Structure formats: structure tokens, C-alpha cells
Amino acid sequence: MAPRKNTAAIRTFGDHEVIVPENKLRKAVSTKPMMPGEEDPVARAEKALAELSSEFGSWMESECERLDNARRAFNKDGFDKESKDALFRAAHDLKGEAATFGYPAVASAADSLCRLIEYTPETTRVPVKLVDQHVDAVRAIYREYSRSDAKDLAALLTSRLRDVTDEFLIYENRGRPDVLEQIIGSASPSIVPE
């Protein structure tokens, strides 16, 4: 088989290829020229985001409180469907909002908690201490974000949490090869360049 030629969408490396999909968002933006005095919609969105940015810290604080309250309900009442859903939603929302709110390092700890909840086959076996460690990590990363070494510490902390979580999930799912493949597959780092 002949080697694949490099195109704008494919970058070939020694042992792998990175395929960069077409940017379909570009098609969603109008190509017609703007009328004189008409504001660029992208610039308008960026301006609105900048105006809201002063609120991001308090929103992030609220989301961390929501996560902590969900954890407390879990610790008090056990892991029923309601407490599981509340904890998962709070972690999932933080994972998605963290970068927008200016705290991208929080997302990894929240993602690890989501994985713990999602992939544990018997929710009553989710370790309370591991949930506590995740929530405490999220809150600490947020609280200490202004430190110069915060991102490095967050990466180290999150990496360790992820390792412990993966070890637990692999053990708990040892008889479920399809789930193990998902856990192990999502544990590997992305090959897409940043």
C-alpha cells in the first residue's frame, strides 16, 4: 500500500497520522459583506463575554459550592439515583464551564470525578473518600488559582487522582471488557497537537 500523501487535513508523523477535520463553523458565519456600521457578530460575542468576565469568579464559586453540596448529600444519604445524578451534573457542568470561567485546570479534576461516577458499575461501591478527594481537589484548584505554580500543582494533583480513579475503575470493571476498553482508551493522552 502506498503511503498517504500529506494534505491540509492530514499530518503524517513517523508512527501516526493526525487528521484535522474541516472547520464547519466557518460555513455557519455569513460570507456576505457587512453593511456599513454593522457590528461583527464574533466581535459582539467577544465583547459580551468580556463584559461578563467580572462575574466568572463568583459563578465559579457557586459551581464549586453546588458540587460540595452534592457531595454532602452523597455522604449523608448514600449514593441513590438522586444524589448520583446531582453529583454527576455538578461535576459535568464544572468540567464544561471551567475554561470559559477562566479556570481551565479545574476541568481535569471534574472530569475524573465524572468518570468515577459514570464507569463504576455498582454505585454503592463508589469510594466516599475518593469522591471527597475529587471535590476537595476542585475546590483547592479554584481557591489557589492565582498562585504562580497553581497550574503545575493542579496537573500533578489531577494526574494522581486520575491514576487512583483508573486503578479503581479497572478493578471494578475487570469482568466487563467493553467498559475496560472505554476506560483505558479514555485514559490515554490525546495525540492531537495543542
DSSP string of 121-174, one letter each residue:
SSGGGS-HHHHHHHHHHHHHHHHTTTSTTHHHHHHHHHHHHHHHHHHHHHHHTT
**Backbone phi, then psi, for 28, in 5-degree steps?**
-75, -20
What confidence score (pLDDT) does residue 194 get? 41
Q: Is this structure's pTM higher than 0.75?
A: no
Q: What span, in angstroms and rounded, lies between the C-alpha atoms of 14 and 93?
A: 38
Q: What span, in angstroms and rounded, lies between the C-alpha atoms of 162 and 158?
A: 6
CATH class of the 50-170 domain in this structure: mainly alpha
The sign of the dihedral angle between the CA atoms of 114, 116, 118, 124 is: negative
Write out pLDDT tens, residues 89-132.
999 999 988 888 888 899 999 999 999 999 999 888 889 999 99
Sorted by sequence, the CB contacts under 8 Å of residue 86 that are 6+ apart come out as: 70, 73, 74
**Strand-strand pairing, 10-12 and 17-19:** antiparallel
**Per-residue pLDDT band at 193 (split at 50, 70, 90):** very low
| pLDDT mean over 76-82 | 81
Q: What span, in angstroms and rounded, lies between the C-alpha atoms of 126 and 123?
A: 5
What confidence score (pLDDT) does residue 136 get? 96
Q: What span, in angstroms and rounded, lies between the C-alpha atoms of 155 and 157?
A: 6
Grid coordinates belonging to 120: 463504576
* Longest distance between any two alpha carbons in the chain, whole Å: 65
Which one, of 67, 127, 129, lies nearest residue 98 by Cα? 67
Return the domain boundaries, the chain.
Answer: 50-170
